Chains A and B, each alone.
Chain A
């Protein structure tokens, strides 16, 4: 068993990475860890050769530390490993949590929250019903209320970040983000990808990563959402660095 935070999640929340791994470690004491990019971005640009090279690097890291099943919290990592690796199994954190349960202290913690969350499903896993079920299960375990929309689950629409279009066609990307935001009636949106969170924040939604809800304070209507860290490259890289240490620290503890 191992955990891999990916790119956008560790850049957003070292704290979330740490707490998640600590909980996993309780259940799987031999938990290993790898922090590296899965290469999805390289692949998305169309750099086939470079992607193969980079994924091989990741695969080597995974093999080096003897991880047979990799737990991931990013839908792109999930898809990339699933489609590319011939011997590493991949499990989404969102399907694993319903199996192992949530820590006692978080269950029902948000039952008094006045927030109704719209759920932004990731378009990259539009056909992974189990992942989508897992998210709803976690929300209900925590005690949050959610609202489904016409564009839930397999009808999910892109947050605007996909396909590396932000740098290529920024005006279009903003329109895609706005359109996605308009799919939700509620101001509050829960996401399970840190890049999606950043997109929704850019167009004025109060977006929360589900790990914010899992490990952070209970959210009420009046309070602001956490800062859009990914919009600042400097902060993101510092976080990524912090996350790297969190991975080491938790695994070795």
Chain B
């Protein structure tokens, strides 16, 4: 049956813009698109295993991410944008992992062997995710890492008191289950050349992270006792020590890495820890949690000061810093261009750690092009490099946090898989869904929403925790997790569906109903003929969609194609009824008299 143009137009207008299936803010912000809303609801119902399974559909590291994810989802969480109190999305993830994760629940099937072999450089989150996806696609995968331990920066950057190492090892055992092979302690570019690797494998994923610490060109930087954050944290991670450090440690930098260096300093026996940043306290780039936890641990913040000179003693050892007051950090175009006043001050310290950024090292002997920060040049959509068989992922190609590294690993794997199957790298892919995106969801707050405070967790006292490497955060109790889960607003639209009973019989939202109509070019007449024409849907729809009118348009077309009669059997009696309503027996007209 044919429908008129206006029906098609209205149906596609609704289908295109309907927010019924639009992702919640948290899920859209998560580069891996974890179904946050769903697992939080499951935790709320006490279904911890269900929650864990939901998380594992996307993330092989629930407990790890539950502890250290930089959680872009929380930034975008409706409770954050409205009230500044985001759901503890990560904390609840850790809770689900602690309560329910067991190896038996892991989905470890792999695809039919393809006979292709892929080398992955780097056992960080990007390399690991790429390896998982490629194994699942049936390829043989070998991971190379210059370290003897897995996890990458999660292992040698993120401190142990935030992420116990056995958590990483347990979660990474999944890769072994899948049949991923590990060649640990092998450095590409040194032990094996990049060219050799390309010869030995059908494709290569480069995920070597950003492991080159930087030290800015400050006078005195060659003094004994000056270190970069990467080397500092790596040694502390691997040995719980840093013998070259003294007792009075100054960390330069204002980001999360600086906080990690400062807090780690206590744990290797420092007596005084300073944190010196160009930015004022309120503008520090570090997360508020990290700032609070550092301050609880008595790190002394000196904010709004830059390093003028590292002062040395006669032996060439660090003895202090001369600092100059910052006037502004950025120029009028927003570029980093710090300006200083004449004002200076000196601090007495014996060790300086620069947490001022990490760079990507070239391990390809110049075969891959590099840009700012040493990152390899890639096609942002596919992560293809200038070499057809090589794809770059993780920090090495532009990520900055673990969950981004995973999404980029997944992206690179998808491209490598296509390359190996001789398929076009881009065709039919929805790149938007492969990374964080902005949801189109735009709905009023649910009725009666109150500003409820975030449920605080259980941190060990600062005094106790700052001298050991054991986890400082003990995680939620059952009651705390329940309470926190109950704050979730379960963000979605589907407002019309709460008004309309009938549409619930035929789909999850109008996008389903009208989308199916557009796809098939037809619709069961019972659907438009079940509409009450009550306008309830349009009344609550943030887009004011004329759903009833669209059904009415369909009815009109049904009538036209059915000799002017309704296609519904039940309407036969109505026709008679209506005829009577216009018949002389029951009608009258009378002129008024004066």
Contact = CB atoms under 8 A, between A and B. Distances in A.
A50 interface: yes
A2 B578 CA distance: 23
A61 to B, nearest CB: 4
Contact of B590 (A65, A175, A237): A65
30 contacts: A7-B581, A28-B592, A30-B594, A32-B589, A36-B588, A44-B533, A45-B571, A46-B555, A46-B566, A48-B559, A123-B532, A126-B535, A126-B539, A156-B536, A157-B499, A162-B532, A162-B533, A163-B531, A164-B574, A165-B529, A165-B531, A167-B570, A168-B568, A172-B501, A176-B532, A240-B586, A244-B586, A244-B588, A247-B590, A251-B592
Interface in A62-116: 62, 64-67
A160 to B, nearest CB: 7
B585 interface: yes
Contacts of A158: 532, 534, 536
B536 A123 contact: yes
A226 interface: no
A176 B592 CA distance: 41
Nearest to A175: B501
Contacts of B536: 123, 156-158
Contacts of B529: 163-165, 168-169
Interface residues of B, number: 44
Contacts of A36: 581-582, 587-589
Interface string A214-253: 0000000000000000000100010011001001100110
A251 B499 contact: no
A31 interface: yes
Given A247-B590, A251-B590, A157 B578 contact: no
Interface residues of A, number: 62
B530 A172 contact: yes
A159 B539 CA distance: 16
Contacts of B592: 1-2, 28-33, 65-67, 251
Given A167-B573, A168-B570, A37 B578 contact: yes
B474 interface: no
Contacts of A143: none
A42 interface: yes
A54 interface: yes
Nearest to B534: A158
A84 to B, nearest CB: 15
B217 interface: no
B70 interface: no
A194 interface: no
B556 interface: yes
A240 B584 CA distance: 12
Contacts of B577: 41, 233
Interface centre among B536, B587, B588 (most CB of A within 10 A): B588
A251 B590 CA distance: 7
